[in-house]
A and B are shown apart, each in its own frame.
Chain A
Amino acid sequence: MSNIILETKDVVKKFGGLIAVKNVSMQVKEGEIFGIIGPNGAGKTTLLNSVSGVYKPEEGQVFFKGENITNQGAHVLCRKGIARTYQIVNSFPRMTVLENVKIGSIFGSAIPQDDDAKAREILDFVGFPLPVDTIAGNLNTVQLKYLELARALATNGELLLLDEVAAGLTPGELTEFIELIKRIRDRGITVITIEHVMKFIMTICERIIVLNYGEKIAEGTPEEIVNDKLVLEAYLGKEHAVEAE
């Protein structure tokens, strides 16, 4: 059995009266591509935020490589090896592409890597199409996604958290992106990805959990998930799910 790289135990995250994540437990194995799906507002992003130190969960624990990392700050976790991207792309708009990536390699890596060579190598790896001295503020959304991914990879993380990176890609871009994620996994990086794009989830994820109203309602391989009655209900509503059967 392979090692568990990330584990959550009964994580609860509330916003005022709203319980956005309700007692979610999961185990992610080293080297796998792990999917999180669920309808809008299910709590997927909130769960990732609670794992990566952006939010502090009210209850439960998060373990990374066996260490209890609950309540540790985002910058600390980044250096420990948890890299991430955001659903709404984040960049440093008045910096060049190269500087954006260097932020990751200088500050986010356990051993700071200062040289441009490292940043250029990562940009090549993700296939970034523009000159490295382009100002990030001039990029389009898809380019920004690749840039953010490059910055995350530059931190030398062992675990990469992706939040709907495939959303909005054309079919051609999607195929390329799926290849990229596989190459990232082949580098030995574990990937947890939130996705609505079914083609992406079905082709690439080894295991998936499904969230609905903050609760984990299913867990398994893509095949198991598509045949799960609760999941169909969550996505289509009860009556339609019955019809679909």
Chain B
Amino acid sequence: MTNLQSILNKQNTLSDNKFFKLLGVSPFGVAVFIILALSPLFIDDQYVMHLLISSLMFGALAIGFDFTVGFINIVNFGYAAFMGVGAYTSALLVSRLDLSPVLAMLAGSILAAILGFLIGLLTLRLRGMFAAIMAWFFGITLMSLAANMVDLTRGHLGLNVPILFPGAGRDAYFYLILGITAVTYIVLRKIINSHIGLAFRAIGQNIEAARSSGVDSTKYRVFNFTVSCFFAGLIGGFYAFFVGVLTPAVMHTRVTVEILVLCYIGGRGSLWGGLLAAFLVIPIFEYLRPLMEIRLIIYGLLMILVMIYYPGGLAAVYAQLVDLIRDMLGMKSKSVTG
């Protein structure tokens, strides 16, 4: 038995292990998590830490976005606005009411979830594109509110957010977002692996057949939006404290599009694909900051290329790779989820 084969076998037996099943993650995913968790010990460069934090943050946002587009097949074009709701809410609660940051972030997520519930109801009768446009208008409305409620948000002047970890370096932020990302992934993966996930996929692939097979599309769509927006709000709360200044720009459609591109590059319906894509794309774009103006053009081109040549994204490439290795080793193929 070759070495590689024994590793793959091991991964299979490990995947069946109770612990991994319970968390809904593969041994490979846990290994990546551990390596990430140890990385601050080896990385001194604060800029690199900053990139890691940004990647995790956008990756986590992509996971929550894919939870909707990758399963019930609706593009939530207002997604960034829900993130912004979480960001503003937690920032204001801490600066105005002196609430503890943890509680504030929770409150922000809950408010975002409530608004997500609302958008779920609003888009209920609408299909694909129309639901996406409705979500988009909703997001634009939220952004205008943030821009115009100057007494509360200071509008475009920017809202200063209290420092979360005074005196601490980037590491504290890193561990916080690593924890948030892990929780986001595990919770959403658990839901997707349950019957609820099956209902989501049914609705996303053929809503008429889903209804006629007993799936309550209303209930599952609203639930999906609520959960997805909850996590957008949570990550938004982190964003506020990490960046330190909030402007309504955080809620702009441009931000949603960036997250969408990560999802598509990563592979829709994989949950983890967008996270992986974030680690590849976000650092590149940070280096290309001077090219800010054409950033969206590059994003658009990237997406077109992916859609044409790799519609399944990185997740599909990974699955093909695993199958290829298995075939080469003469093993029965078994698809692995992140």
Contacts and interface: CB of A to CB of B under 8 A. Distances in A.
Interface stretch (B52-60, B194-202, B221-229): B194-202
Interface residues of A, number: 30
Interface residues of B, number: 18
B212 A78 contact: yes
Contacts of A112: 195
A152 B212 CA distance: 9
Contacts of A106: 195, 198
B206 interface: yes
A54 B214 contact: no
A97 B248 CA distance: 47
A75 B215 contact: yes
B217 interface: yes
A45 interface: no
Given A91-B206, A94-B205, A95-B201, A107 B212 contact: no
A91 B209 CA distance: 7
Interface string A102-119: 111011110010100000
B58 to A, nearest CB: 26
A90 interface: yes
A158 interface: no
A151 B23 CA distance: 31
A54 B211 CA distance: 9
Contact of B215 (A54, A90, A107): A107
B205 A104 contact: no
B209 A92 contact: yes
Contacts of B209: 86, 90-92, 148, 151
A102 B269 CA distance: 19
Given A86-B209, A90-B206, A90-B208, A99 B214 contact: no
A52 interface: yes
Contact of A75 (B198, B206, B211): B211
Interface in B222-263: none
Nearest to A104: B213
B217 A103 contact: no
Q: Which residue, of A73, A75, A112, has the highest number of chain B Cβ atoms within 10 A? A: A75
A161 to B, nearest CB: 9
A73 B205 contact: no
B201 A94 contact: yes
Q: Which residue, of B199, B209, B212, B215, has the highest number of chain A Cβ atoms within 10 A? A: B212
Given A73-B211, A112-B195, 16 more contacts: A54-B211, A54-B212, A75-B211, A78-B211, A79-B214, A92-B202, A93-B206, A94-B201, A103-B199, A103-B214, A104-B213, A106-B195, A107-B202, A108-B213, A114-B195, A151-B209
Interface of B: 195, 198-199, 201-202, 205-206, 208-217, 269
Interface of A: 52-54, 73-75, 78-79, 84, 86, 90-95, 99, 102-104, 106-109, 112, 114, 148, 151-152, 155
